[in-house]
A = this chain, B = another copy of it.
Amino acid sequence: MKIAIVGSGALGLYYGALLQRGGHEVHFLLRRDYDAIMKNGLTVHSINGDFYLPSVSGHKAPDTIGPVELVIVGLKTFANNSLGDLIKPLLAPETQILTLQNGLGNEELLAELFGAERIIGGVAFLCSNRGEPGHVHHLAAGRIVIGEYQRRANVRLERIASDFTSAGIDCRTTVDLKKARWEKLVWNIPFNGLCALLQQSVDRLLKVPHCRKLVRDLMIEVITAANKQSLSQDIAEKFADGMLEFSDGMGEYKPSMQIDREEGRELEIQAIFRVPLEYGSQQGVGMPRIEMLAVLLEQL
């Protein structure tokens, strides 16, 4: 399959590298790492085993890639206003667009730009970060859950999942993408928010009982709002406890928003906080702690 990676941060580089190793024709849209990767290739340091791609098809603009079968979007959501220009040159009539971005609102935007029928959404439970240019680190987890944006059952979704699985990616499909997105927010909202605000890694929040309780209170606010969104099934409160245990295994992991703050980038507050708050508010759900966390992050 000919694949373009739009937004080659840690997530885009990691999954793209696995797909290339799995035999797919992968083209990476690169910025920071362009020179390093074109000169020295791409090195993946992974808990599942390191590997090295000596030759990578890197591009500075989408025009030199041309039409592909699958676009994988890993762009930071605060750069979403460039999605139109970046993706248009990659499209043929049958091109599918899979967004693995954080938060809510990304499928909606892509559907508006390129037509809802192309759009597939996915949530990645991946702990990764970039090292020096040309290196990406896979630290923990890695599962992707993908679903059709319009929720019609579709054989293409199974085909993508099957291709990903063959390439060594733990990929599941879901008939309820919206539920998967909200489940991801149960993690993203407390950990991205608090780690970025306090500039502390996951383990430091979890080891202080008062702070661990705050993380859980934030998770329960997400779950309460999620369960007013006409999901196929409610998210149980115990999902929060599972997430806490899952996070205990992450150690000194820094979520992407914490790294964004450290490196002086914009924060993904709109997609991870403001859009979910808006959906909650539309259903009359109070989310005082999440609202407060959003305000504090905006104030930084």
Q: Does A275 contact B (CB under 8 A)?
A: no
A79 within 8 A of B: no
Residue numbers in B under 8 Å from A300 (CB-CB) = 198
Give the Cβ gap from A184 to chain B, nearest Cβ, in Å: 22
Q: How far is the CA of A214 from the CA of B299 in the complex (A)?
A: 11
A191 → B minimal CB distance (Å): 13
Chain B residues, CB < 8 A from A294? 210
A94-135 contacts to B (CB < 8 Å): none
Q: Is A217 an interface residue (CB 8 A)?
A: yes
Judged by a CB distance under 8 angstroms, whether A289 is at the interface is yes
Binary contact track A204-241/B, C-beta < 8 Å → 1, others 0? 11001011011001000000000000000000000000
Q: Which residues of B contact A204 (CB under 8 A)?
A: 299
Whether A214 pairs with B298 at a CB distance below 8 angstroms is: no
Cα distance, A291 to B299, chains bound together (Å): 19
CA distance A205 to B200 in the complex (A): 23
Task: Point out the residues of chain B lying under 8 angstroms from A296, CB to CB.
Answer: 194, 197-198, 214, 296
- The A contact surface, by secondary structure, is helix
Bound complex: CA A205 to CA B292 (Å)? 13
Tallying the copies of this chain within the complex gives 2
- A217: chain B residues within 8 A (beta carbon): 288, 292
Q: Judge whether A295 is part of the interface by a CB distance below 8 angstroms.
A: yes
Q: Find A211's partner among B208, B211, B299 (CB 8 Å cutoff).
A: B299
Query: Which residues 257-300 of A sit at the B interface, judged by CB distance below 8 A?
Result: 288-289, 291-296, 298-300
Knowing A205-B299, A208-B298, say if A292 contacts B214 (CB, 8 Å): yes
B288 close to A200 (CB less than 8 A): no
CA distance A296 to B211 in the complex (A): 8
Expressed in whole angstroms, the Cα–Cα distance for A296 and B193 within the complex equals 12
What are 13 inter-chain pairs, A to B, with CB distance below 8 A? A197-B296, A198-B296, A198-B299, A200-B299, A205-B299, A208-B298, A210-B294, A211-B295, A211-B298, A211-B299, A214-B291, A288-B288, A296-B296
A-B pairs, 10 with minimum CB distance: A214-B295, A210-B295, A288-B288, A289-B292, A211-B299, A211-B295, A198-B299, A288-B289, A214-B292, A292-B292
